[in-house]
Amino acid sequence: MNPMLEARALSLPDRLHDVSLTLKTGELACLIGPNGSGKTSLLHAIAGIGAPSGEVRIDGIAPRTVGPTERIRLLSFLPATRELRWPLLVRDLILLGGANSDEVAGTIAALELGPVAERRIDRLSTGERSRVLIARALAPRPRLLLLDEPTANLDPLWQIRLMTLLKARLGATGQAALVAIHDLDAAARYGDRIIVMDEGRIVADGDPAAILDGPQVRQVFGIERAGNEWRPVV
Partner 1 sequence: MNRTTAALLTLALAIAFLASLLLPWASLLDLFGEDRELATALLVELRLPRAALALIYGATLGASGAAIQALFANPLASPDLTGTTSGAALGAVVTAYLLGFTAPIALSIGAVAGALGALALLLALAGPRAETATLLLSGLAISALAGALTTLALALAPSPFAFYDAYDWLMGSLVDRSLAQTAFAALPALLTMILLLRLVRPLDRLALGEDVAQSLGHDVGALRLQVVCLTALGVGACVAICGAIGFIGLVAPIFGRRLTGGHPGRAILPAAAIGALLLTAADLVARTAPLGRTLPIGVVTALLGAPFFLWLVAHMRWRLQS
Residues that bind partner 1 (CB under 8 A): 44, 47-50, 63, 66-68, 71-72, 75-77, 79, 81, 83-89, 92-93, 96-98, 120, 136, 146
* Closest to 33 (Cα-Cα) out of 210, 140, 181, 154: 181
Nearer to partner 1, 150 or 208 (CB): 150
Interatomic CA distance for residues 231 and 234, integer angstroms: 9
Interatomic CA distance for residues 58 and 217, integer angstroms: 29
Q: How far is the CB of 5 from partner 1 (least distance, A)?
A: 14
Nearer to partner 1, 116 or 217 (CB): 116
| Residue 83 identity (one-letter amino acid) | E
| Residue 145 identity (one-letter amino acid) | L
Q: How far is the CB of 183 from partner 1 (least distance, A)?
A: 23
Is residue 44 a contact partner of residue 193, using CB atoms and an 8 Å limit?
no
Q: In what order do the strands lie in the sheet with 53-58?
A: 16-23, 5-12, 53-58
Nearer to partner 1, 141 or 218 (CB): 141
Q: How far is the CB of 45 from partner 1 (least distance, A)?
A: 11
Q: Which residues contact 64 (CB under 8 A, 6 or more apart)?
A: 48, 56
Interatomic CA distance for residues 192 and 176, integer angstroms: 11
* Closest to 26 (Cα-Cα) out of 139, 167, 190, 170: 170
Q: How far is the CB of 197 from partner 1 (least distance, A)?
A: 19
Is residue 11 a contact partner of residue 53, using CB atoms and an 8 Å limit?
yes
Query: CA neighbours within 13 Å on the CB side: how many for 133?
Result: 26
Nearer to partner 1, 37 or 41 (CB): 41
Q: How far is the CB of 149 from partner 1 (least distance, A)?
A: 14
Nearer to partner 1, 179 or 217 (CB): 179
Nearer to partner 1, 83 or 229 (CB): 83
Q: How far is the CB of 71 from partner 1 (least distance, A)?
A: 4
